[in-house]
Amino acid sequence: MENKLTESLPTRMRILRAARQCFAENGFHSTSMKTICKASDMSPGTLYHHFPSKEALIEAIILEDQERALTHFREPLEGVGLVDYLVESTIAVTREDCAQRALVVEIMAEGMRN
């Protein structure tokens, strides 16, 4: 069972990377599962096995982003005071490429609609 999970992790990550890019470029509503299949070079069956809907993809992207942000705040910096640590962590979390910022805006807009 562990081997199957290990094998599927790169597939899941590849799908999430493609979905992230498609959502950032085209928006949530203009991106189809077919577009994500093509961008990730995955079959529809593989995509739907890992993510039954676009909403499930967005949820996974949000959880991934939250975990990455929390990691920055959990890692203690040796020799750095609390205020400096919080400032450095906040800066690290907000350093994102333009496409990532566009995706965050798209996710927030979708959240407001639902």
Read off the pLDDT of residues 90-113 as tens digits, 9 standing for 90 and up. 666 566 655 566 666 666 666 666
Show the beta-strand stretches assigned E in the chain.
none
| Ranges 5-9, 29-33, 75-79: which has the least confidence | 5-9
Number of domains in the chain: 1
CB neighbours of residue 88 within 10 Å: 14
CA-to-CA distance for 8 and 76, rounded, in angstroms?
A: 32
CATH of the domain at 52: 1.10.357.10
Domain that holds residue 38: 2-113
Read off the pLDDT of residues 35-68 as tens digits, 9 standing for 90 and up. 999 999 999 999 999 999 999 998 899 888 888 7
